[in-house]
Structure 1
Amino acid sequence: MFVNARDRGFTVLSNRESGYGRYDIAIFSESGGYEMAIIIEFKVVKKNKNLVDMAREGLDQIEEKQYRAGLHKDTKKLLEIGIAFEGKKACVLGHLLHRTDEGTWNKDLISY
């Protein structure tokens, strides 16, 4: 999946510092001036947790660690994704955000 993204004009980075931590995967659109970015955080289910809780924890980590801080100033849309795994099961949660003219991020959609 990530190799295919590279072939389509995206840059794929992993485990890079941004904000107050290191994201797992970031995908940036290079064509058209960095208009779109994706930040992905992976989690493995721990004791007393479930798939949804862990996927939400991944999303929370993206926000708490301020991984958005490293985005190019021309990035207009951002998809934040938390993915949790438990054996062969997975849960994916995401936020679609857009940057306002003032530079703040607004959530357009929360998907479950």
Structure 2
Amino acid sequence: MGDNNQAWMPNRKGVLQLTAASSYLRKNWHLNYSAAALTQLAATGEGPRFYIYNGKMLYPLAELDAFAEAKLGPLLSQSAPALQAVASTKKVDAAADRASRRAKWRKR
């Protein structure tokens, strides 16, 4: 990775192999995706985009950053409306999950 003082550098160029990409997400974004988890996400198309070169998966830094930002969600200020929006979204998601589980249970 090089210089530890440059933890945040937008528009960086370069690629990382699978295990280094896993470490990068853990160290820079605090996202715990193992190499196996990244491989599984790649198989389902849900993970960051990557190249295959000589049989190795190479993740561009920009794609890892975009993936992490998508997983973390939008930046919020500490204003009350923003926190209320997050809380109401969680309540709606929880209600949808409960309804989905009930529907599955009734189909049995």
Short-chain TM bin: under 0.3
Structure with bigger helix share is: 2
Larger radius of gyration: 2
For normalisation by structure 2, the TM-score amounts to 0.27
Higher strand share: 1
Give the structure-1-normalised TM-score. 0.27
